[in-house]
């Protein structure tokens, strides 16, 4: 599992991302979420936790999310992503347009 890194305006995470999940943590002190990063090269997912520009994040492939980030998905209310992530990680060709339609 990858570690979290600073997520702010100086970050190199693409500004073109779609928020998939965003909810308060169990203690209510911060927020936890998942973004789908729109990338020309591959499907990427930003796993983050904190408050706005003061949050920490990491960007993962679908396989990395499946391997170590399922508790994060559960806390963010995004377990519904598992079948989609499984298809992508297995190498199935999943068009970005189909993915975006499924997020709406």
pLDDT value at position 32?
Answer: 87
Contact 75, 69 (CB under 8 A): no
Query: What is the reported pTM?
Result: 0.70
pLDDT value at position 22?
Answer: 86
pLDDT digits (tens, 9 = 90+) for 17-64: 778 888 888 888 888 888 887 765 677 888 888 876 677 888 899 999
pLDDT digits (tens, 9 = 90+) for 64-89: 999 999 999 999 988 988 988 898 89
Provide the token pair at 36: 């789908």
């Amino acid at each position: 599992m990858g570690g979290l890194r600073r997520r702010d305006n100086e970050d190199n995470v693409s500004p073109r991302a779609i928020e998939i999940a965003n909810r308060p943590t169990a203690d209510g002190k911060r927020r936890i979420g998942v973004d789908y990063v729109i990338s020309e090269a591959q499907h990427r997912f930003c796993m983050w936790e904190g408050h706005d520009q003061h949050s920490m994040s990491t960007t993962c492939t679908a396989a990395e999310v499946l391997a170590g980030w399922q508790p994060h998905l559960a806390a963010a209310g995004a377990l519904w992503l598992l079948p989609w992530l499984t298809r992508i990680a297995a190498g199935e060709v999943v068009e970005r347009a189909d993915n975006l339609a499924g997020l709406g």
